[in-house]
Amino acid sequence: MSSAAPLVQILANVRHVVLVLSGKGGVGKSTITTGLALALRQAGNKVGILDVDLCGPSIPRMLSVGRPDVHLCDAGWVPVYTDAQKSLALMSIGFLLDDPDKAVVWRGPKKTALISQFVSDVAWEELDVLLVDTPPGTSDEHLAVLENLKKHRVDGAVLVTTPQAVSTGDVRREITFCKKTGVPILGIIENMSGFVCPHCSECSNIFSKGGGEELAKLTGSVFLGCVPLDPQLSSSMEEGKDFMELFSNSATSTAIGGISQTLLQRLQTT
Amino acid sequence: MADVPDNAPEHCPGTTSEKAGTSASCQGCPNQSLCASGATKTPDPAIAEIGEKLSSVKHKILVLSGKGGVGKSTFSAHLAHALASDSTKEVALLDIDICGPSLPRILGVEGEQVHQSGSGWSPVYVEDNLSVMSIGFLLSSPDDAVIWRGPKKNGMIKQFLRDVDWGELDYLIVDTPPGTSDEHLSIVQYLSSTHVDGAVIITTPQEVSLQDVRKEIGFCRMVKLPIIGVVENMSGFVCPKCKNTSEIFPPTTGGAEKMCQDFNLTLLGKVPLDPRIGQSCDEGKSFLSEVPDSPAADVYRTIVHSIQEYCSKRVTGDQDTC
């Protein structure tokens, strides 16, 4: 690998760095990261996503970028752009793997080594917001990401949960992780927050209700908002389609758009 | 020697790792020359000890998924409840999700303490014939985060297997975190001198899940862990008002059914979404007892039956079958 420019120089072009965390798996971190990125882009921002989930990198599929070849320039890995205007850039650790369909069965130290290199060596151009999508937990990957990103600046983290106690129970621990590692908590997002039946409009709280807001109160964090369970959001992510464009009038896109604006305001005032 | 000795530096690769003594982090460590000599890479004696300890466990089942949030812990807990509904069977659950231990809450025993005796740590009893061990019981507060690197997590898993006084068991079910990392390698490694019946793989219908689950299947094949079958969770939602079905997590690439065909695996069952499942888990109750007539409970029972049948075809050392 060619020598990369110092980290400080690379991330100097990035205005805000936001981690997307959860203690819990499957709450929609990647979906929310992608949704927020699309919303921020729609509002005219230049956005980047850094996907450090080594075992399950989902973002390439959600942005329909397939399996691109990635290249090194003098400044580091060149991110993949989803459009000609370069308004949304993506770098996924999945791009560096020889066979993206094969399991990455690595112990912590090897993951740490790759992530450390990866986080430090992406040649981002000018970005308003860089969102960092992470795997669930509080372990090697998270420590590696933080150790490397903190050399620049991490504005903070958004925490994603679903409403039920089994989720918020894990997210509480992630909040402790943030406090112990000095990562400001920008806010909590409650995903899968109710399902409105498309046939009769009855709302069912499939994964319970209210847990995200309660968690925010309990931990003194800002509650950024709720995103409902929406099969169209799931299928757009599956098919790599821009949900915010395709379903711009839906309650879900209004919710995601609102959260992205609140987040941007918090970033611009802290 | 411990996998990560107390006097090891922060990024210690582990004393049994290939890089032991030679990685950059080893510089300046008092154990560096010992590790570099290869003395620490001999097979971990704990593997044989665990083999001895678990010789009184007739059937061992791992519950895996590459993906998070698909219902591994929910399934593990309810599999255990169902197996323990036969009061002549002794069942135990081991929760190796070190960062996100959900089983204490799901089983209604959050806040319980683990006790130590001459014969080791005693697991927490949910019923007379159902016990569980989780790091959750060792944390003093629900806010405590376990911010451990791989080698320390591995050490904990080894302790759970070697030092817990499980007693004679018909079934030991191991609930795992998502991914294919330290915890998964360690559980397979530490159980390598015992007989493991196989793994139950949990997924949800959508491709974003399946793409991770295929990797988990690859992992199982790589470590020669038999796969009992696949469970598809969150498989459709029936509106309680109008009774129409919605596919909230659409099977855009054929769901678990197609994946099982492609990999020649058994699809054990498709469990529909039912808000009462999540509710029962939050309240620490068994969904199978709370709502026994629900369609989801029916599917669960069919799946458990298939697993029991699979296990009954495995003959244990003393020719005893379940």
Where do we find the tokens 């992630």?
A174
Contact A108/B180, CB-based, under 8 Å?
no
- CA B199, B204, B205, B211 torsion: positive or negative? negative
> Distances in Å between the alpha carbon of A209 and those of A129, A229, B106?
30, 12, 17
Three-class DSSP category at B265: coil
- CA B5, B192, B210, B281 torsion: positive or negative? negative
Three-class DSSP category at B69: coil
Q: B143: buried, middle or exposed (CB in 10 Å: 19+, 13-18, 0-12)?
A: middle
Q: Does B181 touch chain A (CB under 8 A)?
A: yes
Q: What are the tens digits of pLDDT across the range A39-74?
A: 999 999 999 999 998 888 889 999 999 888 888 888
Contact A169/B142, CB-based, under 8 Å?
yes
Contact A205/B248, CB-based, under 8 Å?
no
Q: What CA–CA distance (Å, rounded) separates B261 from B251?
A: 14
More confident residue, A160 or A135: A160
Domain boundaries, chain B: 12-42, 49-313
Cβ atoms of B183 and B153 closer than 8 Å: yes
Where do we find the tokens 């964090």?
A221
Closest by alpha carbon to B300, among B322, B275, B270?
A: B270
> The tokens of B4 are what?
């990560």
Number of other residues whose CB lies within 10 A of the CB of residue B313 = 9
pLDDT at residue A228, rounded to an integer: 95
Q: Homologous superfamily of A14-269 in CATH?
A: P-loop containing nucleotide triphosphate hydrolases (3.40.50.300)
| Residue A7, pLDDT above cutoff 70 | no
Where do we find the tokens 């230049």?
A46
Q: What residues are paired with B202 via a beta bridge?
A: B231
Q: What are the tens digits of pLDDT across the range A189-216?
A: 999 999 999 899 899 999 999 999 999 9
Where do we find the tokens 């593997």?
B47
A6 pLDDT tier (thresholds 50, 70, 90): low
Is B260 annotated to bind ligand?
A: no
More confident residue, A123 or A117: A123
Residue B141 neighbours by CB under 8 Å, 6+ apart: none
Q: What are the tens digits of pLDDT across the range B132-187?
A: 999 999 988 888 988 888 888 999 999 999 999 999 999 999 999 988 888 999 99
Q: What CA–CA distance (Å, rounded) separates A55 from A185?
A: 25
Q: Does B9 touch chain A (CB under 8 A)?
A: no
Q: What CA–CA distance (Å, rounded) separates A148 from A19?
A: 13
- Residue A184 CA to chain centroid, in angstroms? 16
Residue type present at position A231: P
pLDDT at residue B1, rounded to an integer: 54
Name the residue among B19, B146, B178 with its Cβ closest to that of A109. B19
Across chain B, the runs of DSSP E, i.e. the strands, are 57-64, 91-95, 115-117, 120-122, 124-127, 130-134, 169-175, 198-203, 227-232, 237-238, 245-246, 267-270
Residue type present at position B95: D
Q: What CA–CA distance (Å, rounded) separates B61 from B266?
A: 16
B215 CB neighbours in chain A (<8 A) are 55-56, 101-104
Q: What are the tens digits of pLDDT across the range A226-246?
A: 999 999 999 999 999 999 999
Cβ atoms of A49 and A34 closer than 8 Å: yes
A104 CB neighbours in chain B (<8 A) are 180, 215
Relative to beta strand B198-203, strand B57-64 is parallel
Q: What CA–CA distance (Å, rounded) separates B168 from B91?
A: 9
Cβ atoms of A152 and A14 closer than 8 Å: yes
DSSP characters over B182-193: HHHHHHHHHTTT
Q: Which residue of B has its CA nearest to A232?
A: B248
pLDDT at residue A1, rounded to an integer: 41
Across A63-209, the runs of DSSP E, i.e. the strands, are 72-73, 76-77, 80-81, 88-92, 127-133, 156-161, 185-190, 195-196, 203-204
> Distances in Å between the alpha carbon of B21 and those of B16, B27, B144, B181?
10, 8, 32, 22
> The tokens of A140 are what?
């090697």
Domain boundaries, chain A: 14-269
DSSP characters over B23-58: SGGGTT-TTHHHHHTTGGGSPPHHHHHHHHHGGGEE
Interface of A with B in 164-223 (CB under 8 A): 164-166, 169-170, 172-177, 180-181, 195, 197-200, 202, 204-208
Q: What CA–CA distance (Å, rounded) separates B203 from B214?
A: 10
CATH number of B49-313: 3.40.50.300
Q: What CA–CA distance (Å, rounded) separates B195 from A191?
A: 41
Low-confidence ranges of chain B (pLDDT < 50): 316-322
Residue B205 neighbours by CB under 8 Å, 6+ apart: B232, B234, B235, B247, B249, B250, B251, B255, B256
pLDDT averaged over every residue in chain A: 90
Three-class DSSP category at B85: coil
Helix axes B182-190, B45-53, angle to 10 degrees: 70
> The tokens of B166 are what?
């499980």
**Reported ipTM exceeds the 0.85 cut:** yes
Q: Does A250 touch chain B (CB under 8 A)?
A: no
Cβ atoms of A37 and A87 closer than 8 Å: no
Q: Does B180 touch chain A (CB under 8 A)?
A: yes
Q: Which residue of B has its CA nearest to A173?
A: B145
Q: What CA–CA distance (Å, rounded) separates B69 from A79?
A: 29
> The tokens of A81 are what?
């752009």
Where do we find the tokens 């991914």?
B179
Q: What CA–CA distance (Å, rounded) separates A194 from A175?
A: 24
Q: What CA–CA distance (Å, rounded) separates A202 from A82?
A: 37
Number of other residues whose CB lies within 10 A of the CB of residue A248 = 12
Closest by alpha carbon to A160, among A31, A16, A17?
A: A31
Q: What are the tens digits of pLDDT across the range A80-105?
A: 999 889 999 999 988 888 887 788 88
Alpha carbons within 13 angstroms on the beta-carbon side of residue A200 total: 11
Q: What CA–CA distance (Å, rounded) separates B282 from A195?
A: 19
Single pTM value for the model: 0.88
| Residue A118, pLDDT above cutoff 90 | no
